[in-house]
Amino acid sequence: MKNLSKRDLLFIGLMLFSLFFGAGNLIFPPFMAQAAGEKTWIAMSAFFITAVGFPVLGVIAVAKSGGLTNLAKRVNPVFARIFTVLIYLSIGPGLGIPRAGSLPFEMAVAPYLPESMSIKISLFIYTFLFFTVAYWLSLSPNKLVDRMGKVLTPTLLLLIIVIVVGSFIKPLGEYGAATNGYEISPFFKGFLDGYLTMDTIAALNFGIVIALAIKSKGINDEKTIVSLSIRAGLIAGGLLSVIYALLAHLGAASGGKFGLTENGAQTLTNVTNYIFGKPGAVLLALIFTLACLTTSVGLITSCSQYFSTLTKKISYKNWVRILTVSSMLLANMGLTKILSISVPVLNAIYPIAIMLIVLSMLDFIFKEDHLIYSLTILFTGIVSIIDALGQVGIKIGFITKSITFLPLYNEGLAWIIPAITGIVIGLCIKFAKEFLKENKIFSEKISD
């Protein structure tokens, strides 16, 4: 039976890292750390759970279940179709891809444009070039390992390392004081900050890309594909942890030296300007563009692969064209509008995705029990969706008010107790059924 060499496995792991590591992953750790200051590593310990742990578990869950649809079907076939489509739309053309296209421009290009240049025209030109390259890379998914794992990802890592090394040669100084709520509950703040990377949701999509990359190396045995997907996920997760830790250090030191900024891009701009002067702007623009480009390619590829399975009338390549053009148009809405939509959508979907992954990891206990999956996702979804609607001003009277009494509501984690309740009720019913079934069999044997 054919297996991957360690070298090929490393490149697939690097490719998976690059799929995860977009501009959001670049800006959130330093932005969080500049506010967390001396509490940075408490916040980061929770950030690692939602921004690294669950994404890696998501890759494993999808690999073991044979795809997101199969995993979601354990809840309900109708839920599987709706949830899967919603995941692909939100992480893809509806939110994730346009955000990745507009973020590098607004964070690392627009601030340095001459006042005489139109921002709208410049954004259109930038996104046109950006998505042209993304389109070209996405047309050949079997070549992603060579193009991303061997070229783009090492280049991105090298550029980030240049900044980190520069910070040791020209130190920023001590960490600042914790502010913005991190002084009170750094752990819970860090946990929620991990949502913003969108990687747990993305992990449910990228499983299909990793499986395709492994198959392109001539491996078709399903057990081997699952095993290699898990190992690639661990490589990507380890690398993410290291990069996040380095970026958090830069952010915490930047907060102590320059104070708080409005976003993580400004934090990194302060760092690169201090270390490298004006050339730092070019370095940062390259890093942002590469990070967003690799993520966009992964999202376009995975979404196109999925949507092409829904209808035979539109091929994979046509889906690539549709998603690329639509994402470019949405990217020209501007980052502010995109982000205003992203936070409530993430708060609604993320808890459901997390619990689906948790249930999958504990399936050796649950044995794909439909009731346990259904109750857990139902209770989790009700709370997370009502909470998300309330955040955008849509309140449902006493129902919205009632969830404010749930434990951990103020920390943004009101869904946890309902999720656990769903598991407990489901298990109780499962064990009760098994007990009654065994007693019935026992009674029948006695009567015989």
Q: Which has the closest alpha carbon to 127: 293, 265, 336?
A: 293
pLDDT at 131 (0 to 100)? 95
Classified as helix, coil or strand, 123 is helix
pLDDT of the chain, 448 residues: tens digit per residue: 567 788 888 888 888 888 888 767 888 899 899 999 999 999 999 999 989 998 888 888 888 887 888 888 999 899 988 888 888 887 788 777 888 888 888 777 877 788 778 888 888 999 999 999 999 989 887 777 777 777 888 888 898 889 888 888 888 888 888 888 898 889 988 988 887 777 888 888 777 778 777 887 888 877 888 888 889 989 999 999 999 999 999 999 988 888 887 777 788 888 888 888 888 888 888 888 888 888 888 889 888 988 888 888 899 999 999 999 999 988 887 656 666 666 677 778 889 988 999 999 888 888 888 899 999 999 999 998 888 888 777 777 777 788 888 888 887 788 999 999 999 999 999 888 877 777 766 565 565 5
Rg (CA), the chain: 23
pLDDT of residue 242: 92
Query: Whole-angstrom Cα distance, residue 31 to residue 211?
Result: 34
CA–CA distance, 335 with 358 (Å, rounded to integer): 32
Residue 185 CA: distances (Å) to CA of 42, 180, 417: 9, 10, 19
Quote the DSSP letter at residue 7: H
CA distance 199 to 430: 33
Whole-model pTM: value is: 0.81
